Amino acid sequence: MLCGRWSIPLNLFLFRNDHATAIMKNRREFLQTTGKAALVAAGAGAWPVAKANEDAKPTLPTPTADSCIFVWLGGGACHIDTWDPKRKGDAKAKQAGSYYDPIPTAIEGVEICQHLPQMAKLLDRTIVMRSCHHDVIDEHAAAVNRVHVGRPPTGTTLYPSIGSVTSHQLGARGEGVPAYVLMGYPSASRGPGFLGAKSGYLYLTETELGPAGLKRPADVTPVRQHRREEMLERLRKAYLERNPGQRKLEDYAATSVEGLKLAGPKFMSVFDIKSEDDSVREAYGGEFGQRCLLARRLVQAGVRFVEVSFNLNFINGTGWDTHNQGQLQQHVLIEQLDQAMAALLEDLERRNRLDKTLIVVATEFGRPPEFDGGGGRGHYSKAFSMVLAGGGLKTGQVVGTTDELGKEILDTPISIADFHATIYAAMGIDPSEELYDGVRPVPITDRGKPVMACFG
């Protein structure tokens, strides 16, 4: 059915070093003080200007959401076949353009793909961001990493994902639940990077076994389980005493203790999908839809950030990576996305959670309007679409415009850093705040600015 085996990844990287932070802070204060003194001594008169610039730092939007459901369309969903339709093309004649017809939506003058009829009626609950872009084209893994961590990789720092940053900054909303859950296959792109294991995710890979990783085997009684945990705690404590100051080990030990708490009845009850009314489960549709239903239950229970992947079974043969023949069955994916997303929005709205739950529909890049030799499409990252919904944002609008074929951005370009900054700002996280990789300050975003049109 839906729920699968859960595990905690063994990403063991350094957490923030408070001592190093204090050193860095003292050094900065020294440089600022001596710098100001030098300016005054030289009669430069520049300090008042510098102070004015510092005070002029843009005010962040008022936070509007307390949870995020991050829907991932792995493979590269075609923007002109979903959220940004253009003139009709012809794959056989190799005439560039959209593969499907457009339909009107709840936003006057805005059209989307014909296979998104339910979302068309609910588009006023969303912001369609049609001018997203980055510079990674031919490598899926690199593009996935770019959209998840918000910046290019370097050889010196392993950056944390958007889910891990959210987990680190805000933690879980409730007791006895994790802050960050991943429904999909784990990867470093989705991991905590230098933030360490405490900011990692709990993940689901097998969808028919239930959360087996958190279930006690039938032959292990509560008494035996308690004895095992006591013995494990003694061994863990003795090992850490013999190896003091190893933050990686300490972080992982603390994470394993937290993991044991998740096996309790409160968190496990979240996975009882059958407790939902039949009409609710049916509204969400198939496996992907049931994952979205579980995501709603998770945020309702207090999980802060949930990623839901929609590319696991390659329903159309290729997933969203619609090269060659994959284009022919792309509509199957789009229709399932339509059903699940519409059900999620309406379900959250009924429960008065839509304004507090930010829903993000993201993908690693779009597809070009031209068709390849097999009638499918290649990769395209210079312009593509992503969607925000709910979260208390100023919905019912499109941000950004592309040209007649969806290849060039005509206005309001949205970088991945800006995309991240918008999500962080909606969640009450300052996108310019610095985290620390050892003694090295790392801003949460790569100079990203929130898209202010998204906020009322």
Spatial contact of 202 and 178, defined as CB atoms under 8 Å apart: yes
Mean of pLDDT over the chain = 84
Calpha distance 297→348 (Å, rounded) = 10
Of 229 and 168, the structure prediction assigns the larger pLDDT to 168
> pLDDT for 353-396, tens place per residue?
999 999 999 999 999 999 998 899 999 999 999 999 999 999 99
Collapse the DSSP code of 414 into the 3-class scheme (helix H, G, I; strand E, B; otherwise coil) and give the result.
Answer: strand
Please report the pLDDT score of residue 155 as a whole number. 85
Establish if 34 belongs to a structural domain: no
DSSP 64: -
> Does position 168 have pLDDT exceeding 70, yes or no?
yes
> pLDDT for 235-290, tens place per residue?
777 777 787 776 666 666 665 656 556 666 778 888 888 899 999 999 999 999 99
Establish if 175 belongs to a structural domain: yes
Establish if 41 belongs to a structural domain: no
Establish if 242 belongs to a structural domain: no
Q: Count of domains in the chain?
A: 1
- Residue 112 belongs to a domain with what CATH number? 3.40.720.10
Calpha distance 107→395 (Å, rounded) = 10
Please report the pLDDT score of residue 176 as a whole number. 85
- Is the torsion defined by CA of 332, 342, 353, 356 positive or negative? positive
Establish if 230 belongs to a structural domain: no
Please report the pLDDT score of residue 235 as a whole number. 78
Of 307 and 36, the structure prediction assigns the larger pLDDT to 307
Establish if 124 belongs to a structural domain: yes
pTM to 2 decimals?
0.83
Spatial contact of 20 and 438, defined as CB atoms under 8 Å apart: yes
What does the CA dihedral 409, 415, 421, 422 come to, rounded to 10 degrees? Answer: 20
Bridge-based pairing of strands 440-443 and 384-390 is: unpaired
Q: How confident is the model at residue 57 (pLDDT cuts 50, 70, 90)?
A: low
Calpha distance 325→182 (Å, rounded) = 30
Both tokens of 295, joined, read: 């995501």
Please report the pLDDT score of residue 263 as a whole number. 62
Establish if 445 belongs to a structural domain: yes
Which range marks the domain in which residue 115 is found?
Answer: 6-21+66-215+263-454
Q: How confident is the model at residue 216 (pLDDT cuts 50, 70, 90)?
A: low
Spatial contact of 159 and 285, defined as CB atoms under 8 Å apart: no
| Residue with the two structure tokens 């620390």 | 436
> Does position 8 have pLDDT exceeding 60, yes or no?
no
Establish if 368 belongs to a structural domain: yes
Per DSSP, the chain holds a count of helices (H) and strands (E) of 12, 16
> Does position 50 have pLDDT exceeding 60, yes or no?
no
Please report the pLDDT score of residue 324 as a whole number. 87
Q: Which of 22-31, 66-75, 231-240 has the lowest mean pLDDT?
A: 22-31
Of 8 and 105, the structure prediction assigns the larger pLDDT to 105
Q: How confident is the model at residue 188 (pLDDT cuts 50, 70, 90)?
A: very high
Please report the pLDDT score of residue 248 as a whole number. 64
